[in-house]
Every structure is written in C-alpha cells, then in structure tokens.
Chain A
Amino acid sequence: MSAHFIKESDFKAFVSALIKAKPVYGPTAKRSKFVFSRLESPEQLRLDYDVTLLPPKKLFFPTSQDLVRFDGDKFEACVQPEEKILFGVHFYDVKALDMTDLLFREKNPDWNYLAHRECTTLVASSIQAVAPRAFWGSVGREVQPKGHDAFLTKIQGGFVYEPRTPKGEALLKHGAFGKASDEQVAEARKANDDIKKRCPQELKKPSASIARKVRAAFDDETLWDKLAEDCFSCGSCNTVCPTCYCFDVQDVWNVDQKSGARTRTWDACLTREFAEVSLGAGAHENFRESRGERFRHRIMRKAVYLNEKLGGPACVGCGRCSSACTSDIADPVRVIEQIVKA
C-alpha cells in the first residue's frame, strides 16, 4: 500500500473528522504522565508522549469487565464491543498487542477480548519522546509489530501515513492527504530507525542467549531471593505490563441478592495470593510461597517460557515495570544483567 502525507496544518482537522466519525482513543496528558483515553477534541491528543501509565490493552481487556449479567436463572453475556479508532500507539505496544491477540485467540478464543479488538482500527505512531526506562530499541529485535492498520510518522512539516490494511486506508478520506514523496518516506524510515538508538537502556545480548542464561539460573535460589529481597509483592510490575494477561473471575450479587454480574479483573502473579489454591475443607496451599519464587516466575515468563510460542520474548521493553516498582528491582535490563553476571 502506498504512503501518504498530511501537512501539520491539516492534521487537527483530520483528527477532528475522525472524532466525528467514531470514538477515538489516544494518548492524553495526566499531569506529568500520559494515559490512553477517549478524545473529545484534537488538542487532547499528545503524540509527543513518552509512554502511558497503562498500556492500550485496557481498551480490549478492561481492568475490570463484566462478562455475564444474571438475574435469578436468566443470564446474558454483556460484552458490548464498540467500533472505535485507537490512535497513536507506539510500536512496542503494537508488539505487545500482537502477543495478547495470539494468547487470547489460541485454544479457546476469548471473545470478551477479541470482540473489542476486532472492531478497532489501530493507528500506530512514531515515537517522539523516549521514556526514562525504555529499552525497546534492543529487546526482541527479531519480532516486528504487525497488528496495526496504519503507521503514522512525524516528519518535517507533517506526517507520513502508511496504511497496512483496508481499515487503515479507509481513514484517508477523513483528511487532506496527498501522496508522500520518496524523500518523505525515506525521512520517515530514518526517524523510526534513529529513535531506536536513543533508548537510555539496552539489552546487550540477543533474546535466545538471554533465554538460555535465565533458564540456567532457575535453580539458583539464593540469586532469586536476593533479587526479590525488597519486593513488596505488590504486582505493580504485572499490572502495568502490556504483555501480562492473567485475570480473576468473581460473581458479585446486587443488593436484591438475585441479580448480579460475573466480573473479571486483572490479576498479578507477584501478589502472594495468586498461586494460592484450595485443598478443600478450608485448607490452602501456595505453590509459589516465597517472594523469590514469584519474582523468578515473572522473569521466566518475560524472558523464557513464551519465546517459542511468540517468536521472541514476552517483553517489549516499554520500561513501565521499571518505573512502577517502588523498590526499583523490577527492571528487566538490570535483572538480566545480574543473572548473566551471577
């Protein structure tokens, strides 16, 4: 598909037209940080964001989502997908969505996620500001983002818009686009290549060799206990991660004690309760009892266990976990460095 160009001065009108056509979600400012939220005006869109607090996954897999509503013996599925445009997703988050797309689709397809995902037009955008703990320039280089319908790159004087699917092409009619010149396309390429060299952190080794080293450290209990010494089991590293996808399901009754909802909520394997299972008769067992075991489990999931299925590590280098961890022990780059050194 061919590349298009829109002038900076025409861009606002394009976003306004999109907002008129469909609900549009994009990065917006929340004090000093950014969050994906529904746009009411083009001025709210902050394509100069570095990273959002939560990843865009929340639009397809909300932090808390009613799956079924019941009333006595009657029940109905209540997922109501909304046709929408998700605008301004960085490539690392597109990679993460590719992973959750695959994980929610395999075996028993999870329509509660897929229904939301499939009615979305996803416009990726180039990175203009680099987050303080980002390492997307070096992690999982072998994996390319593919789940977007178009890619928008900021260049001199405007944006290059490259549709990847008919859905992405369909948005062209909302803006004053012209054909992008070869120079503009080359400038966009260069911008997207150059930014990858500007991450403050870097994984020095390729994914396969990291995976081997991390797996080999599995039995080094002293190492994991040491790495997790200051861990609060707070699950922040899970909750902010774009590739985490575990959830818990609970039934909640309304005060009439007859009607209610079955709700799923994000879960986190770093919390103590996560691996607690019932043995019946009120007894429990926790199969990841210590902080070290839980800490190890996350690193194994991000760097080793899923690599074969996903074609690369289940970490996209957004650095959200590194920033979210109050003890500053969750950073995958530093953890991997320490494992490799040990």
Chain B
Amino acid sequence: MAKPKVAFFDFACCEGCQIEFTNYGEPAFLELIKHVDVVEFREAMSEKTKDPIDIAFIEGSFTREGDRARLEEIRKRAKIVIAYGQCATTAGINALKNHTADYRKEVYGKDAGMPHLDSQKAQPISAVIKVDYNAFGCPVNKVEVLQIVSHLLHGKEPVIPDYPVCVECKRRETICRYEEGDHCMGQTARAGCGAPCPADGIPCEACRGFVSDANQAALKKALIQKAGFSEARAEGKSRMFTANQRGDAK
C-alpha cells in the first residue's frame, strides 16, 4: 500500500478512543504519519473529505436510523473498515440502554424531550455495514491499534486475540482475584489489554467484551460459588460492557 489515506468517523460514543490515538507521544505519532495520510480526524484537525479512503476507523455505536446512510456512504468509499473501540465493535456500554426504558427521565430529567435523545437500540456498526477488523477495548489499546495498522501496511492479517484475560494474568504471574477473595470476569473477557487491572488488584470488567465462546453459565457459577455473589448480582454482573453479547441481549 502506498501511503494509505486514513480517516476517523464517530457515531454514538465519547470519542475517547480517538483521543487515545493522539496519546502515542510525539515521536511515535510523527513517525506514524510518515506512513499514513490522515485525511479526516476531528479530534486533531478541521479538514474533512469526501474522497475514497483506504482505512476508515469508525468509532461509536449505531443507535439512530438516521445514521444508516452515513455509515453506508463511508463503507462505499473505504477499502477497509475498522470498528474502532468497544462502542463500535459490540455497542459496549451504550448497549446498557437496551435494557432500560426510563433512561431519558432518569438521566436528563426536565430535558428528557430533547430530540437527539430519540435513539433506538444500541448496536455495533456491523449491524449496518460489513466490518473488516475490530479494535476492541474501552478505550482501544493504542499499541494494538498500531499493530493492526502495521499489519495492514504490510499486507498481513491483523492478529486480534480471542482468548480470555486469564492467559495474560497467568503469563505475568498475577495472583488471581478469586485467590484473594475477590471476583473477576477475566475468564470470559477478551484479552489483548495485557491484563493491567488484576495486576493492580482490580477485577477485570471485560471492557473488551466477551471472547467469542464465553462460558457465561460457568462465569455466573464462579461469581456465586467462589466470590459469594447473590444470584441476582451474579446474573447482572457482566452487563456493563457485554450487554449485546450476553444470552439475554436485546
């Protein structure tokens, strides 16, 4: 690929994953833009484009029918589409709203009638267009994103882990949260982050979503039997980042 054109687009999200892209530090970032031509990136520049692009990073979930046409238009002119961040890959935290009816009043009170709050179910962008690769995480892992870009520049398939976080905890000899009387969801959570949270004594919340064959029944059992959770708490525990991947996804 001769210096590919790269663009960022955002839908329902906090744009934190785009910010993460600017966090490489100057030397790495300046080196990277020698290899890619960033043509649209509203967190860092004002230019916009309607030209064909090589790699489109799409951030955010699909939550409004009105966004369909824009997604399709991006797909049409992009050679490669990367769902960028957890909102885009699985609808991440946004999908929590799929399980509530009263969020407008609860969250916005007297402003509940604002027109832009009129959104539907939160879905990954793959619900609308074909996605070629996923950059998981809330936020994305910037080192992994760099590797995805590198692999594409070299004409290789990006390597994106689909094994649980336990693999990474065990490799770095982190004492299991369960061994310390705590709970964790690393057994079903997608790795690729390097497991920093359990190493700091914090349970894994599965911010990269579930692995593709997560054993959800066994997770619930471990939360009850090993961590002493109530049935209800164990049942709902994983929902924060995985609402769309659970057995009860709406």
Residues of A within 8 A of B (CB): 30-33, 35, 53-54, 63-64, 229-236, 239-240, 250-253, 255-257, 260, 265-266, 268, 271-273, 291, 323-324, 326-327
Contacts and interface: CB of A to CB of B under 8 A. Distances in A.
Contacts of B164: 232-235, 271
A234 B162 contact: no
A253 B188 contact: no
B21 to A, nearest CB: 13
Nearest to B175: A33
Contacts of B222: 230, 326-327
Nearest to A229: B218
Interface stretch (B60-68, B107-115, B147-155): B147-155
Contacts of B154: 253, 257
Contact of B173 (A30, A234, A268): A30
B170 A54 contact: yes
Given A255-B32, A257-B153, A326-B226, A234 B175 contact: no
B221 interface: yes
A263 to B, nearest CB: 11
Contacts of B28: 255
B167 A268 contact: yes
A338 to B, nearest CB: 18
B167 A239 contact: yes
A268 B162 CA distance: 12
Given A229-B218, A234-B164, 13 more contacts: A32-B175, A32-B180, A54-B171, A54-B173, A234-B187, A235-B163, A235-B166, A235-B170, A239-B170, A272-B213, A273-B162, A273-B163, A326-B176
Interface residues of B, number: 42
Nearest to A291: B215
Nearest to B150: A253
B167 A236 contact: yes
B31 A272 contact: no
B44 interface: no
A232 B215 contact: yes
Interface of B: 24, 28, 31-32, 35, 146-147, 150, 153-154, 156, 159, 161-164, 166-167, 170-173, 175-176, 178-180, 184, 186-188, 211-215, 217-219, 221-222, 226
Contacts of B161: 273
A73 B193 CA distance: 31
A32 B24 CA distance: 36
Nearest to A53: B173
Contact of B176 (A252, A268, A273, A324): A324
Contact of B175 (A30, A235, A252, A273): A30
Contacts of A54: 170-171, 173
B146 A255 contact: yes
A204 to B, nearest CB: 27
Nearest to A33: B175
Nearest to A324: B170
Nearest to A252: B147
Which of B166, B172, B213, B214: most chain A CB closer than 10 A?
B166
A31 B175 contact: yes
A108 to B, nearest CB: 24
Given A63-B172, A253-B154, A272 B167 contact: no
A233 B171 contact: no
Contacts of B178: 326
A51 to B, nearest CB: 12
A327 B176 CA distance: 12
Nearest to A35: B173
Nearest to A253: B150
B78 to A, nearest CB: 18
Contacts of A30: 173, 175
Contacts of A265: 171
A226 to B, nearest CB: 13
Closest 10 CB pairs of A and B: A234-B166, A239-B170, A232-B187, A230-B218, A271-B163, A234-B164, A253-B150, A63-B171, A53-B173, A255-B31
A252 B150 contact: yes
A255 B171 CA distance: 25
A255 B178 CA distance: 38
Contacts of A266: 171
Which of A30, A233, A253, A327: most chain B CB closer than 10 A?
A233
A271 B171 contact: no
14 contacts: A64-B171, A229-B218, A230-B215, A232-B188, A232-B219, A234-B163, A236-B166, A239-B170, A250-B159, A255-B146, A256-B31, A268-B163, A271-B167, A272-B163
Given A53-B173, A64-B171, A326 B162 contact: no
Contacts of A291: 215
B215 A233 contact: yes
